[in-house]
């Protein structure tokens, strides 16, 4: 899903956790040398990141679960199309609730506590799916995993951003997105060779590694500073930077940032609709609407069924190709994000999703009219692969990056809640209606998504500013000009 492709609200909120520009100090060569020593001890940072991104992998596993299992689950449990559509989409409702509450949860029980809580919800959900004998328990399990990944989607990138040295923050937070895609791809691949119940059990493994790993890593120093645990804050920071590192300057920076953040005015969601922020809201919400309504959750959740409907003799071939394509293309997109700029990447990506949907829609048109039937499966697979490649290179991650850049620091929390709400509502709408739309008219379904691809290009060209290489103040000046 988009959200699985994305860097998530959470990449936006991670910037909320970074020191304000105003707190930066001019440093001499001795200070720079001290900082380089601090950044040189990264063993604990890497271990902590590896533990945290188990949650990202779990996110991808949950999202990717429904694609290769649709036919098997419907046959084993005698589910109707409506019942399976509810199962496939209810994860987005759970995730929406989890994401909206995740900020408060992570602030109340800490980043590690939130990850631990999320893992427990996911494990409970997977066990419910494994033991289910009907749609009620099946849906309950899917909802619980959704709630868990909704929390993961916030707390993992925030935790990584808070523990990483400045020179490593960008690279380490990119791992979050990559692991989401890897989790989804692994679920796709495993689903072609093991039963749906055993696939549910594999979803427990990332959570198990996470729960064990949390015993060996420190809590976020920034959260400890926020809640006034000064001794624990210094211990955690020293553990992350190395026992011989001089952490006094970084500790002072973090404390100054916390003090500044607490002095900023509190913003409610309703405040965002004033003239001061309305254009930023239009940009952020608009990108999320288009990200979802180009159809990613329908196509991603039900890829295997799409290939079957197109007449592919072995739908597992298409599913495997879908899984294999996602990971390298996501890496390519991350490489180009700071080189080509946000707007060109978005427009190229949206154009690609248009062509992918058009090809797939054309394949179903040919099938419906009995024309070139031998080309139908080839066009369908090619269209879906073009689509997911184009989506992964831009529309998956870039909207979240732009969202993190267009809102002033003191409104990011409220803005993030609004944007994630819109995103998950869109995810639910698309994933729930996809099966019904395909039963009504497969050609029309993909042409509808293709139309949204065209609208996305127009929206980006007319409304979305280029944010590459600009400071927060420069971006605000462009938006409000």
- Cβ proximity of 103 and 14 under 8 Å: no
- Cβ proximity of 59 and 181 under 8 Å: no
Name the range with the highest mean pLDDT among 40-44, 281-285, 392-396.
Answer: 281-285
For residue 379, with 0-12 CB atoms within 10 Å meaning exposed, 13-18 middle and 19 or more buried, which class applies?
buried
CA–CA gap between residue 108 and residue 400 (Å, rounded): 25
- Cβ proximity of 154 and 8 under 8 Å: yes
pLDDT at 180 over 50: yes
Q: State the DSSP string of 281-313.
A: HHHHHHHHHHHHHTTHHHHHHTHHHHHHHTT-S
- For tokens 């990108």, name the residue: 287
Residue 377, both tokens: 């499966």
pLDDT in tens, 406-446: 877 667 767 877 888 888 889 889 988 988 898 889 899 99
Alpha helices in 164-247 (DSSP H): 169-191, 196-202, 204-213, 221-226, 230-241
pLDDT at 474 over 90: no
The DSSP letter of residue 313 is S
CA–CA gap between residue 48 and residue 54 (Å, rounded): 10
The DSSP letter of residue 54 is H
CA–CA gap between residue 8 and residue 403 (Å, rounded): 9
pTM of the model: 0.76
Output 387 or 19, whichever has higher pLDDT.
387
Among the listed residues 18, 100, 4, 105, the one whose alpha carbon sits nearest the alpha carbon of residue 405: 18
pLDDT in tens, 320-349: 777 778 778 877 877 776 677 788 989 999
Q: How many CA atoms lie within 13 A of 160 on its CB side?
A: 30
């Amino acid at each position: 899903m988009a959200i699985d492709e994305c860097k998530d609200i959470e990449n936006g909120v991670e910037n909320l956790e970074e020191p304000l520009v105003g707190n930066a100090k001019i440093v001499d060569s001795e200070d720079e040398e001290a900082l380089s020593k601090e950044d040189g001890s990264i063993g604990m940072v890497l271990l902590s990141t590896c533990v945290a991104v188990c949650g990202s992998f779990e996110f991808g596993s949950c999202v990717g679960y429904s694609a290769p299992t649709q036919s098997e689950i419907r046959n084993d449990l005698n589910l109707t199309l409506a019942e399976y559509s509810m199962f496939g989409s209810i994860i987005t409702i759970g995730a929406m609730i989890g994401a909206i509450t995740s900020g408060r949860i992570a602030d109340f029980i800490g980043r590690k506590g939130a990850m631990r809580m999320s893992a427990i919800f996911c494990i409970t959900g997977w066990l419910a799916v494994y033991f289910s004998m009907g749609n009620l328990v099946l849906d309950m399990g899917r909802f619980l995993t959704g709630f868990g990944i909704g929390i993961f989607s916030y707390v993992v990138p925030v935790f990584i951003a808070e523990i990483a040295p400045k020179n490593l923050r960008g690279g380490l937070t990119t791992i979050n997105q990559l692991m989401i895609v890897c989790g989804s791809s692994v679920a796709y691949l495993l689903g072609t060779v093991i039963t749906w119940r055993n696939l549910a059990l594999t979803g427990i493994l990332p959570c198990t590694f996470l729960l064990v790993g949390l015993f060996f890593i420190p809590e976020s120093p920034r959260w400890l500073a926020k809640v006034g645990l000064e001794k624990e804050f210094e211990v955690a920071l020293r553990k992350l930077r190395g026992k011989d590192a001089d952490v006094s300057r970084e500790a002072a920076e973090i404390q100054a940032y916390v003090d500044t953040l607490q002095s900023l005015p509190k913003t409610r969601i309703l405040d965002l609709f004033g003239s001061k922020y309305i254009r930023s809201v239009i940009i952020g919400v608009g990108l999320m609407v288009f990200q979802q309504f180009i159809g990613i959750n329908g196509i991603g959740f039900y890829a295997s069924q799409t290939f079957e409907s197109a007449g592919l003799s072995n739908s597992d071939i298409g599913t495997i190709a879908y899984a294999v394509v996602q990971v390298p293309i996501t890496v390519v997109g991350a490489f180009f994000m700071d080189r080509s700029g946000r707007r060109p990447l978005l427009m190229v990506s949206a154009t690609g999703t248009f062509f992918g949907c058009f090809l797939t829609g054309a394949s179903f048109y040919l099938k419906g009219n009995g024309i070139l039937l031998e080309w139908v499966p080839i066009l369908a697979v090619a269209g879906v692969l073009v689509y997911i490649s184009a989506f992964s290179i831009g529309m998956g991650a870039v909207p979240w990056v732009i969202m993190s850049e267009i809102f002033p620091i003191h409104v990011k929390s409220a803005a993030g809640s609004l944007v994630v709400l819109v995103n998950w509502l869109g995810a639910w709408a698309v994933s729930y209606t996809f099966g019904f739309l395909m039963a009504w008219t497969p050609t029309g379904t993909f042409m509808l998504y293709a139309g949204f691809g065209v609208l996305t290009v127009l929206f980006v060209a007319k409304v979305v500013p280029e944010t590459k290489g600009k400071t927060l103040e420069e971006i605000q000046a462009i938006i409000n000009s």
